[in-house]
Structures are given as structure tokens and as C-alpha cells.
Amino acid sequence: MSKCLVTGGAGFIGSHIVDHLIQEGHEVVCIDNEFADNEDFYWNSNALNIKADITQYSQIEEYFQGVDYVFHLAAESRIGPAILDPISAININVLGTCTVLQLSRKFSVKRLLYSSTSSGYGNNPCPNHENQPDDCLNPYSVSKVAGEKLCSMYTNLYNLKTIIFRYFNVYGERAPKQGQYCPVTGIFLRQHLSGEALTIVGDGTQRRDFVYVGDVVRANLLAAFTNVDNNAFGKVYNVGNGDNISINSIAHLISKNVTYIPPRSGEVKENLANISRLKQTFGWQPQMTVERWIKSQL
């Protein structure tokens, strides 16, 4: 069994990765400073839990001793707050990522899995594939794509084995439900359960590729533990479902009681993942659909 370090391991996606690693018998170190505006944090009592800031090299250095795999999820993870405070987003997502990479290099980590975002595609035509040029429409996207470039550079220059995931819209258990910038499925379910109208941003015709958190966890575990050629590293891999659905359709799966609020700047009309690279390299396949998951929650 291996020693794994998960940054952002008390957040939505990271906490699921921690739980799965522990279930599989790995030793896990979880680093999170509870920076996120989430209503809950999920610390697994079987991990070594460290409340520390990834931008502070000396605060986190000792925890990289003996680590085999790093799952790097700690971030300013939302577009809205990053638009309000770009300096903070750049600090966490760029300096923080460089700090995690540098420590991974220093302690000869076997692989580093970096959670990036489909927002790197911006207004590229759909379906989005990994060879499309970057199109960063907001500070969040700039900061996450900068993190990707750092990962590729650490692979090319220092031989650190990195894998870069571009997640599309992740949903599932533990997704934050409060605040206007949290995932739409969580907001809609909370509004429905408390008898409120569902607030649809813009005209609701925007389409999103929704991917289940359990499928995202499996992508991380497969990419960490599958034997692959060296040329698989330092590259971007889309993690989506390979289909998309409009926000109006998501809302109507939950309730007919809807209301419309003004559109936001810096957000795209459509995203849709081409997922063949992840399938071919790691044998990954999404197993859940957003329609099925929403039905299970009602």
C-alpha cells in the first residue's frame, strides 16, 4: 500500500478521494486550511489531518516525507470569488500549485495528479478536446491553466510525473449547496427541498457536461495506479461525461417552479468533453448520469 497526500482533502471532491484511498488501505495525509466558503468540511478521522496553507512551503514541507502520490485539489475553486479577488486566486492556484510541485519534486513523489478545469477551453467550439488552444475568460481560468503549465514544465524539466485533469461540471454527494457560485445541482436541490423557486441564471439554454464525483474519484485513482508509458505524463485529460444538458432541463428534472436571474459575465454558453484520451490511456469510463443521480435525490 502507498502513502498518499491529498491537498484540499476536506473539500467536496478531495474528501471523496481521501475516503476511497483509505478504503483501499492506503496511508493518507490530508492538507486543507478550510479556506473555501463551503457549509461543511469533511475530515476523515483515519487520515493524518493537517490544517495548513499550501502557499506556505515551510508549513507543509514535513508532510511530504515518504509520500508516493500527491492528489492536488486545494484551490480557490470557484469563478465568482476569483473575479472578485483575482490576487487571492492567483496566489492560491499558482503559487500554491508551484509549492506543491516543488515539494513533490524534492521528496521524489511517484506521481502528482492535478485537478484543473474545463474553463481553460473558454469559447472553443464543442466538443472540447485537449489539443484546443486555451481561452481563459476569467482569473479562475487563468490561474488554473497556469497551474497546468507548471505541471507540464515539472514533467519536462524535472521528470516529475504529473497528470492534469480538466474536470467539467462535477456534481454529487457533498457538493456545496449554499452561495450563488456553488454547483447548480446542489443549489437546485436545496431550493426545491425548502419549497423555493429554482433560480436559473440567464435564459437557461446554456449547456453543461456534468460528471459525477464518483467518476472523478475513479479517474484520479486509475491515473495514479495504472502502469502507463512515460509520454502519458505532463498532459491534459478531460474528465466529463461526454454529453451535455441544458440548465433548463436540469431544473425541470427537479421542479416546475423556476425563476430567471441575470446572466453572469465570464461564463461560457456551452461545454462538452471529448473523453477519448482518458478512456484510451487509463481505461476510464463514466458510470453515472446526472438524470439518474437527480432522481435518486428526490
β-strand partners of 200: 260
Q: Which residue is nearest to ligand NAD (CB)?
A: 11
Say if CB 100 and CB 70 are below 8 A apart: yes
Smallest gap from residue 182 Cβ to ligand NAD (A): 9
Peptide bond into 81 cis (omega under 30): no
Which residue of the set 63, 69, 121, 140 is catalytic? 140
- Closest by CA to 32, choosing from 41, 40, 24, is 41
- Closest by CA to 9, choosing from 81, 89, 67, is 67
Residues that bind ligand NAD in the complex, under the rule CB under 6 A: 8, 10-14, 31-36, 38, 41, 53-55, 73-75, 77, 92, 96, 115, 117, 144, 167, 169-170, 183
Q: Is 140 a catalytic residue?
A: yes
Alpha carbon distance 284, 281 (integer Å): 8
- In the structure grid, which three cell numbers stand for residue 164, read together? 492534469
Say if CB 99 and CB 254 are below 8 A apart: no
Smallest gap from residue 16 Cβ to ligand NAD (A): 8
CB nearer to ligand NAD: pick between 5 and 73: 73
Smallest gap from residue 230 Cβ to ligand NAD (A): 25
Peptide bond into 133 cis (omega under 30): no
**Hunting for cell 505541471 — which residue is that?**
151
Alpha carbon distance 88, 207 (integer Å): 29
Q: How would you classify residue 57: left for phi > 0, otherwise alpha for psi between -120 and 50, otherwise beta?
A: alpha
Apex 78 CA angle, 252 and 21, nearest 5:
90
CB nearer to ligand NAD: pick between 115 and 248: 115
CB nearer to ligand NAD: pick between 34 and 291: 34
Say if CB 104 and CB 66 are below 8 A apart: no
Smallest gap from residue 256 Cβ to ligand NAD (A): 26
Pairing of strands 3-7, 69-72: parallel
* SS3 state of residue 244: coil
CB nearer to ligand NAD: pick between 197 and 288: 288
Smallest gap from residue 120 Cβ to ligand NAD (A): 10
- In the structure grid, which three cell numbers stand for residue 24, read together? 483501499
Q: What is the DSSP letter of 55?
A: T
CB nearer to ligand NAD: pick between 173 and 196: 173
Smallest gap from residue 38 Cβ to ligand NAD (A): 5
Alpha carbon distance 129, 115 (integer Å): 17
Active site residues: 140
